[in-house]
Amino acid sequence: MILKKGLAKKHPDIFKTLYETNKQKDFTFAVYFKDAKFTNKEIIVSGRELIINFSTGNAQLAIPFYNAFTSLKWQEIKISDGCHLQIQKVDVMREKEIKDESVVFKTLSPIVCRDHDQETYKDWFYDYSDADFEKLLKRNFYSKLQDRYGDFLSEDIEKLSIVPIDMKKTVVLHYDLYVACSIGVLEIKAPKYMLDYISSCGLGSITGMGFGMLEQA
């Protein structure tokens, strides 16, 4: 909600492109509550502070989203009848450089592995323990990058390896739908440009909705 509100205010054209069309969202984010307790229906927090980590590898989006956040500083933003937020600080963080073709990541937000049927528009969701987990993530990743990198991507995608190290299944309520997700630590082996994309834009489906954000462990 905060992303959309700020972007609609400062960059309405970009907002329309991202949220009123099927434009791919090359960004991800994660929300952190210190000492939070999660229940089926609510999040119980011990303090009043939260941190939103936002990441994109798309230079054309980085500045507009930065402007979106800063434009809302010190404003009271209504989330619900009992919840209001106020942005007090916006920091630009340096991303840790990837030097090898093998990286151990930890999740900052859950990974969604989705199998979407284009004809029926039905979705099936998988977690790290399912046999098709890696295959579906690779297929999803290929669809994101094929327009950018062309034919040779199909050869490179076979080099992509996703190995769970210390993962667990979780279930997230997303738009009235319970979605099976995966969180924890995993190792990803791939050509460096793929690892750079995963690190900056996320892994899996609906990263633009706050899923699949990773950082180097």
pLDDT tens digits along 133-162 = 999 999 999 999 988 888 789 889 999 999
Give, as one character, the DSSP assignment of residue 198.
H
When pLDDT is averaged across residues 183-212 and rounded to a whole number, the result is: 96
Q: Which residue has the higher pLDDT, 169 or 39?
A: 169
Q: Name all domains of the chain by residue range, CATH numbers in brackets.
A: 2-85 (3.30.70.1890), 102-216 (3.30.70.1900)
Tens-digit pLDDT profile for residues 14-34: 999 999 988 899 999 999 987
Q: What is the pLDDT of residue 92?
A: 94
DSSP code at position 73: B
Q: Quote the tokens at residue 69.
A: 């956040």
Asked whether the predicted pLDDT for residue 131 surpasses 70, the reply is: yes
Whole-number mean pLDDT of the chain?
A: 91
45 versus 103: which is more confidently predicted? 103
Report how far residue 8's alpha carbon sits from residue 27's, in angstroms, rounded to the nearest whole number.
17
Q: Per the structure block, which two tokens stand in for 86?
A: 């106020």
**What is the DSSP-derived secondary structure letter of residue 182?**
E
Q: What is the 3-state secondary structure (H, E, C) of 81-143?
A: CCEEECECCCCCCCCCCCCCCEEEEEECCCECEEEECCCCCCEEEECCCCCCHHHHHHHHHHH
3-state class percentages of the chain: helix first, strand second, coil last, to nearest 5: 30, 35, 35
pLDDT, tens only, 57-103: 998 999 999 999 999 999 988 887 877 889 999 999 988 999 999 99
* Strand 214-216, strand 161-174: pairing: unpaired
Binning pLDDT at 50, 70 and 90, where does residue 41 land? low
Residue 101 has what pLDDT? Answer: 96
Can you tell me the mean pLDDT for 107-131?
92
